[in-house]
C-alpha cells in the first residue's frame, strides 16, 4: 500500500512538477507550521520554567490557539508529504519516532493548557509538576525537530 | 522573482557597504566615548543602536564579498591568495562585529530593565568595538591589496604583510574542509538552525501578539526576560547560517531567494532593535492598547520573519542552484 501511495498520480505530480506551488510550497507550509507550533510551545515552557513570570498565565491562551492552528496545518501538509514518499518514509523507523515525539509534545501541551487557565493558576504555575511537564515539552519538540531534520539525510 | 543583481552588481554592493563596518564603527566608537566622558546615557544609547545596525549591515558585506571574489578570480593581476587572505580577515571581522553588536543589544536590554546603564557594560562594548576596528582595518587593508594598482608602489599597501592564505586563526577554507570531512556537521547545523528559528519565533509571537492586540491582559514590559531567548535563537541561526554559506558559497552567492532572504533579514533584524528601544510599547500597561504605529510594528515584524523563513526554505527551489 505504501508503494501504491508513492506511485499514485498525485505523488508523481507533487514530486515532479517544476512549479513551486507543488512540493516546495507544501514543504514550506510544513516548516512554517513547525516554527509556530514548536515556537509557541517553547515560549510557554519558558514562562512555566520561571522566565518572565510577570506574564499572567491565562493571557498566553492565544498562543495555544496558534499552536493548534499550526498543528492542523502541519498535519495536513505532513500527510501530503507522507503520501508522496510513503514507500521510503513508511519504512524508516526514525519517521515513526518523530510522530511519537510530536504526539508526546501535543499531549504535554494539552496537560499544560488544562493546568494554566483554570483554578489557582499562579500556584499551579509554580508547582514542580508543571515545571516537569514544561521540561518534557521542551525535550519532545527539540527531539521531534531533530528527527524531522535527520529524515532528510538518513537513507 | 525579480533579481537583485548580477555578479558585477553584487561586487559593486560590496564596495559600497564595506564602509559601514570600517568607517561606521570608528565613528560610533567616538560617539560612545563622548557618551562616557559626558556621562550622557542618551548618547551612549544612540551609540549602541548604531553599532547593532552596523553589525547587521556587516552580514551583506561579507556575503557580497564572496560574489566580488567570484567575479575577480581569474582576472589579470589578481592573486587568489590575496583574495583568500582578505576573506579570512573579513570572517574574523564579521565574528568580532557580531559580538560587538550582540553586547550592544544586551546593553540596551539591560537599560530597559534597570533604567540606567552600568559603566562595565559600556566599557565592554567600547573594548569590543576597538578590537573590531582593528580586525576590520586589517581586512580592509588586505582587501585594498587585491586590485588597486594605484597604491601598490606606496609603503602602506602591504602594511600587514603579504598575502598567504590559510594561516589565519579562522579560515573559510578551514570551515569548508571541516564540512567535507564531517558528513554530520551539515545535518546537525540544519537541526540547530530549525531549533533556533522556532525559539526565536516563539518569543516574537508573544511579543508581537501583545503589540497587535491578539494577546491582552499583560503589560508589554512583562516579556522583558524572554527577549534574550529570541536573541539566542538569532545567534544560533547566525552561526549555523554562516557555516552553510562558507561551506558551500556556490549555493547562495547568486541565488535570488538568498538575496531576498538577506534583504528581509536586515529589515526584520532592525524591528528587533526597535522593539527593544520603543518607549511607547514598554509603557503599555496590562489593559492598554498599542497605538496604530505599535500595531503596525508588531505586524510587520511577524510578516518579515515569516518572509525570512519562506525564502530560506525556498532556497533550493526558487534560486534552483542546489
Contact A20 B198 (CB under 8 A): no
CA distance B83 to B212: 47
Q: What pLDDT is stored for residue B166 in this prediction?
A: 47
Contact B264, B311 (CB under 8 A): yes
Q: What pLDDT is stored for residue B165 in this prediction?
A: 47
Average of per-residue pLDDT across A9-25: 87
Quickly count: other Cβ atoms within 10 Å of residue A154's Cβ.
13
Q: What pLDDT is stored for residue B109 in this prediction?
A: 96
Q: Which residues of B touch A98 (CB under 8 A)?
A: none
Q: What pLDDT is stored for residue A6 in this prediction?
A: 83
Q: Which residues of B touch A69 (CB under 8 A)?
A: none
Average of per-residue pLDDT across A78-92: 92
Percent with pLDDT over 90 in chain B? 81
Contact A39 B202 (CB under 8 A): yes
pTM of the model: 0.94
Q: Which residues of B34-51 are buried (b: 16+ CB within 10 A; e: fewer)?
A: ebbeeeeeebbbbbbbbb
Q: What pLDDT is stored for residue B23 in this prediction?
A: 97
Domain count, chain A: 1
pLDDT in tens, A91-106: 999 999 999 999 999 9
Average of per-residue pLDDT across B156-180: 75
Chain A: give the shortest CA distance to residue B320, in Å: 10
Average of per-residue pLDDT across B155-176: 71
Any idea which residue has 511519537 for its cell?
A100
Q: What is the dihedral sign for C-alpha A125, A130, A132, A138?
A: negative
Q: Compare A119 and B290 and report the one with higher pLDDT.
A: B290
pLDDT band at B27 (very low <50, low <70, confident <90, very high): very high
- Lowest mean pLDDT segment, chosen from A66-70, B37-41, B152-156, B242-246: B152-156
Q: Which residues of A touch B226 (CB under 8 A)?
A: 43, 46-47, 51-52
Q: What pLDDT is stored for residue A82 in this prediction?
A: 94
Contacts with A48 (C-beta within 8 Å, 6 or more apart), sequence order: A112, A116, A125, A130, A131, A133, A134
Residue A37 lies in domain:
2-151
Among B187, B217, B222, whose Cβ lies nearest the Cβ of A149? B187
Q: What pLDDT is stored for residue B115 in this prediction?
A: 81
pLDDT band at B114 (very low <50, low <70, confident <90, very high): confident
Nearest chain B alpha carbon to A58 = B217
Average of per-residue pLDDT across A50-62: 90
Burial of A123 (0-12, 13-18, 19+ CB in 10 A): exposed
Contact B205 A66 (CB under 8 A): yes
DSSP B64: H
**Chain B CB within 8 Å of residue A46 CB:** yes
Among B194, B202, B229, whose Cβ lies nearest the Cβ of A40? B202
Burial of A79 (0-12, 13-18, 19+ CB in 10 A): exposed
Q: According to the 3-state scheme, what is the secondary structure of B90-139?
A: HHHHHHHHHHHHHHHHHHHHHHHHHCCCCHHHHHHHHHHHHHHHHHHHHH
Q: What pLDDT is stored for residue B162 in this prediction?
A: 54
**Chain B CB within 8 Å of residue A59 CB:** yes
pLDDT in tens, B123-143: 999 999 999 999 999 999 999
- Of B57, B59, B73, the closest CA to residue B7 belongs to B73
Q: According to the 3-state scheme, what is the secondary structure of A30-71?
A: HHHHHHHHHHHHHHHHHHHCCCCCCCCHHHHHHHHHHHHHHH
A62-81 residues touching B, CB cutoff 8 A:
62-63, 66
Quickly count: other Cβ atoms within 10 Å of residue A13's Cβ.
13
**Cell numbers describing residue B97:** 562585529
Contact B247, B186 (CB under 8 A): yes
Contacts with A16 (C-beta within 8 Å, 6 or more apart), sequence order: none
Q: Which residues of A touch B219 (CB under 8 A)?
A: 54
Contact B108, B52 (CB under 8 A): yes
Contact A145 B199 (CB under 8 A): no
Q: What pLDDT is stored for residue A117 in this prediction?
A: 73
Q: What pLDDT is stored for residue B20 in this prediction?
A: 96
Chain CA centroid to CA B242, Å: 10
pLDDT in tens, B186-208: 999 999 999 999 999 999 999 99
Quickly count: other Cβ atoms within 10 Å of residue A115's Cβ.
18
Chain A: give the shortest CA distance to residue B233, in Å: 11
pLDDT in tens, B291-320: 999 999 999 999 999 999 999 999 999 876
**Chain B CB within 8 Å of residue A52 CB:** yes
Q: Which residues of B touch A150 (CB under 8 A)?
A: 187, 191
**Cell numbers describing residue B226:** 524572554
Give the SS3 label for residue B289: coil
Give the residue from B197, B205, B306 with the most A CB atoms within 10 Å of its CB, the best one to mutate.
Answer: B205
pLDDT in tens, B257-285: 999 999 999 999 999 999 999 999 999 99
Q: For chains A and B, what is the number of CB pairs under 8 angstroms?
A: 113
Q: In this model, does residue A151 exceed pLDDT 70?
A: yes
Average of per-residue pLDDT across B163-186: 83
Q: What pLDDT is stored for residue B156 in this prediction?
A: 77
DSSP B220: G
**Chain B CB within 8 Å of residue A31 CB:** yes
CA distances in angstroms from B116 to A92, B29, B110, listed in the order given: 55, 20, 8
Q: In this model, does residue B164 exceed pLDDT 60?
A: no
Q: How many CA atoms lie within 13 A of B86 on its CB side?
A: 22
Average of per-residue pLDDT across A12-23: 85
Amino acid at each position: 500500500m505504501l508503494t501504491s501511495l508513492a506511485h499514485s498520480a498525485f505523488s508523481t505530480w507533487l514530486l515532479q512538477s517544476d512549479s513551486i506551488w507543488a512540493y516546495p510550497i507544501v514543504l514550506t507550509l510544513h516548516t512554517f507550521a513547525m516554527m509556530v507550533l514548536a515556537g509557541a510551545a517553547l515560549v510557554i515552557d519558558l514562562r512555566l520554567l520561571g522566565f518572565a513570570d510577570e506574564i499572567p498565565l491565562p493571557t498566553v491562551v492565544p498562543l495555544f490557539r496558534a499552536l493548534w492552528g499550526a498543528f492542523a496545518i502541519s498535519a495536513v501538509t505532513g500527510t501530503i508529504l507522507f503520501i508522496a514518499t510513503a514507500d521510503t518514509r513508511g519504512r524508516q523507523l526514525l519517521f515513526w519516532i518523530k510522530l511519537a515525539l510530536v504526539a508526546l509534545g501535543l499531549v504535554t501541551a494539552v496537560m499544560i493548557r488544562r493546568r494554566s487557565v483554570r483554578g489557582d493558576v499562579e500556584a499551579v504555575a509554580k508547582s514542580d509538576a508543571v515545571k516537569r511537564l514544561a521540561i518534557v515539552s521542551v525535550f519532545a519538540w527539540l527531539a521531534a525537530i531533530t528527527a524531522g531534520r535527520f529524515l532528510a539525510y538518513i537513507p | 522573482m525579480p533579481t537583485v543583481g548580477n555578479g558585477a552588481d553584487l561586487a559593486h554592493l560590496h564596495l559600497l557597504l564595506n564602509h559601514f563596518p570600517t568607517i561606521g564603527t570608528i565613528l560610533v566608537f567616538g560617539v560612545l566615548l563622548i557618551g562616557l566622558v559626558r556621562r550622557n546615557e542618551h548618547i551612549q544609547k544612540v551609540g549602541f543602536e548604531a553599532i547593532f545596525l552596523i553589525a547587521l549591515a556587516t552580514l551583506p558585506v561579507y556575503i557580497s564579498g564572496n560574489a566580488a571574489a567570484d567575479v575577480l578570480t581569474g582576472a589579470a593581476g589578481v592573486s587568489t591568495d590575496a583574495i583568500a587572505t582578505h576573506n579570512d580577515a573579513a570572517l574574523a571581522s564579521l565574528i568580532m562585529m557580531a559580538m560587538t553588536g550582540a553586547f550592544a543589544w544586551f546593553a540596551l536590554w539591560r537599560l530597559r530593565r534597570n533604567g540606567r546603564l552600568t559603566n562595565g557594560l559600556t566599557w565592554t562594548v567600547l573594548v569590543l568595538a576597538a578590537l573590531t576596528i582593528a580586525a576590520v582595518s586589517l581586512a580592509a587593508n588586505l582587501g585594498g591589496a587585491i586590485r588597486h594598482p594605484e597604491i601598490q608602489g606606496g609603503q602602506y599597501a602591504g602594511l600587514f604583510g603579504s598575502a598567504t592564505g590559510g594561516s589565519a586563526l579562522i579560515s573559510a577554507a578551514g570551515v569548508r574542509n571541516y564540512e567535507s570531512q564531517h558528513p554530520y556537521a551539515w545535518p546537525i547545523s540544519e537541526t540547530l538552525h530549525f531549533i533556533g528559528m522556532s525559539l526565536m519565533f516563539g518569543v516574537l509571537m508573544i511579543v508581537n501578539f501583545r503589540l497587535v492586540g491578539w494577546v491582552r491582559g499583560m503589560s508589554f514590559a512583562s516579556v522583558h526576560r524572554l527577549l534574550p531567548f529570541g536573541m539566542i535563537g538569532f545567534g544560533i541561526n547566525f552561526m549555523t547560517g554562516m557555516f552553510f554559506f562558507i561551506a558551500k558559497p556556490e549555493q547562495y552567492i547568486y541565488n535570488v531567494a538568498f538575496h531576498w532572504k538577506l534583504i528581509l533579514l536586515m529589515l526584520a533584524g532592525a524591528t528587533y532593535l526597535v522593539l527593544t528601544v520603543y518607549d511607547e510599547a514598554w509603557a503599555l500597561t496590562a489593559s492598554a492598547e498599542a497605538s496604530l504605529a505599535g500595531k503596525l510594528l508588531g505586524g510587520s515584524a511577524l510578516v518579515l520573519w515569516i518572509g525570512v523563513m519562506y525564502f530560506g526554505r525556498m532556497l533550493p527551489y526558487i534560486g534552483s542552484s542546489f
